[in-house]
Amino acid sequence: MLRTSSAAEANDWAPWYGPLALLIAFIASLITGVVVILVGHLAGSSLAHPTPAVTDIGTVFEEAGFVLTALWVASWIARPRPVQFGLRRPTQARLGRVALVVIGAYVTFLLLSALWTVVVSHGASEKYLVKDVGARAGVLGVLASCLVLCVVAPFCEEFLFRGFIFGALRNWRGPAVGALITGVLFGAIHVGSAPVVDLVPLAIFGVVLCGLRQWSGSLYPGIALHALNNSAALVVTAGWSFVAFLAIFASSLLFIGFVVLRAEDQLQLRLW
């Protein structure tokens, strides 16, 4: 059940700020992507089929652009505060209860995705996961793909979609409508990286993440769930073992947690 946001999360962001930020971030990612590909071409990469290293670098720039764009648009009203994006520890329960809710949310998403797969008789997965990011290109390729997909993407995408877009849209018609629109936008942004029929499960995943954000009052459970999903997708697509999944997921959470703690030390803010 979706709950109302706390006073600490209150903001004056117009509802159209969210979709506008996504549009700006998308245009910026296209420009930076072209620049990265051209620079990579000068270093020997193909224009039509960039190397995994070029793809990884381009993805990092794209994801960083999500965060920077959200911060920039949010600053049009006033200097944004971290808590407005959900950068604080969950308010609803202890860590154990949050973990159970995260697992429950993921199981719900898997069941809905499985139902959708049965309806459309389709089992394709995101095509870039293994080949484009270099998950089979040696040790460095594996480490780079894990970093990009399981650390960078979960944090940056949650910051933009659940931290800013959902935060702006729920000011309009409440959290339910905000979650639905945010989910649709989240699915749409994966056009080109996922089969068309997989966009519906991704949109559902986006809605589930919004519900988790609303329930907990924090962005961190959603980041953990996003990292869990990406870790599972990477391992399944690459054909790795369950032990590899556990190692990747645990390492991702530790790395994200380390970054958060470092931010707390530097900014003197309670982010966790």
Distance CA 170, CA 10 (A): 11
Between 137 and 1, residue with greater pLDDT: 137
What pLDDT, on a 0 to 100 scale, did the predictor assign at position 52? 81
With beta carbons less than 8 A apart as the criterion, state whether 207 and 183 touch: yes
Tell me which residue has tokens 């390729």: 141
**What's the burial of 4, exposed, middle or buried (CB within 10 Å: 0-12/13-18/19+)?**
exposed
Domain boundaries, the chain: 9-267
Residue 203 has pLDDT above 80, yes or no: yes
Task: Please provide the average confidence, as pLDDT, over all residues in the chain.
Answer: 85
- Cβ-proximal residues to 16 (8 Å cutoff; 6+ apart), any chain: 168
pLDDT digits (tens, 9 = 90+) for 116-152: 877 775 555 555 555 565 555 666 777 888 899 999 9
What pLDDT, on a 0 to 100 scale, did the predictor assign at position 266? 56
Tell me which residue has tokens 């794209």: 62
- Cβ-proximal residues to 42 (8 Å cutoff; 6+ apart), any chain: none
What pLDDT, on a 0 to 100 scale, did the predictor assign at position 222? 95
What pLDDT, on a 0 to 100 scale, did the predictor assign at position 51? 84
Distance CA 247, CA 149 (A): 14
Does residue 91 sit in helix, strand or coil? coil
Percent of the chain with pLDDT over 90: 49
- pLDDT band at 191, cuts 50/70/90? confident
Residue 73 has pLDDT above 80, yes or no: yes
| pTM for the model | 0.89
Distance CA 97, CA 196 (A): 35
Between 44 and 259, residue with greater pLDDT: 44
Which of 5-19, 28-42, 122-136, 230-244 ranks highest by mean pLDDT?
28-42
Residue range 4-10: average pLDDT? 68
Between 206 and 99, residue with greater pLDDT: 206
With beta carbons less than 8 A apart as the criterion, state whether 135 and 248 touch: no
Between 70 and 96, residue with greater pLDDT: 70
Question: Which residues is 191 bridged to in the sheet?
Answer: 194
Q: What is the DSSP letter of 89?
A: -
